[in-house]
Amino acid sequence: MKKHTKHFPFLAIQRQRFSLDYQNRSSADGLPDEKQFYRWIWHALKSHYRRAELSLVLLDEEEARAYNRDYRGKDYATNVLSFALNEGESMFADTQDTLYGDLIICPQVVAREAAEQGKPLHHHFAHLVIHGTLHLMGFDHIEDEDADQMEALEIELLRQLNIPNPY
């Protein structure tokens, strides 16, 4: 198990700081490296938050299924789970300076979905990392209008990374 927290000073600009506690507890191969996960998360955060303290945990299907069952009442492994520790507070930096939260990703589910949808694996990872990060920031897709707003933001963030529209 790899566990460590890194601060990437080359990405910390104008008093912006983002720390990521990264844990890979998955047996999956061919995963993006830690720096890539960091870049995707920061790409989603940087326009709304000056600071963030997040964890990213990669889990195998059995453990991801347990989290999904225990916290969402759904008895299957899902691609990404987001746990905002300052949930209910504003999603914008002018009223909430630091974002705290946890992301859980199941690489096996992500890989299966990418194959089924004919997408490059790293593109699908980027999409789901950004999607999960937006959930941490307070975005959701329960109502159609909110889903449209969230999807539009995902599409734009991915476009900036030269990744095509995932929808």
Reported as a single tens digit per residue, the pLDDT across 21-66 is 999 999 999 999 999 999 999 999 988 888 899 999 999 999 999 9
17 phi, psi to nearest 5 deg: -145, 135
What's the pLDDT score for residue 95? 43
* Domain 2-160: CATH class, spelled out: alpha beta
Please identify every stretch of the chain with a pLDDT value under 50, giving residue numbers as ranges: 10, 12-14, 93-95
What's the pLDDT score for residue 89? 54
Detail the residues annotated as belonging to a binding site.
131, 135, 141
Q: Output the pTM of the full model.
A: 0.86
What's the pLDDT score for residue 4? 55
What's the pLDDT score for residue 7? 54
Parse the chain into domains and list their residue ranges: 2-160
Please list, in sequence order, all residues whose beta carbon lies within 8 angstroms of the beta carbon of residue 76, skipping any fewer than 6 positions away: 65, 68, 69
Detail the residues annotated as belonging to a binding site for Zn(2+).
131, 135, 141
* Token digits of residue 137: 């920031």
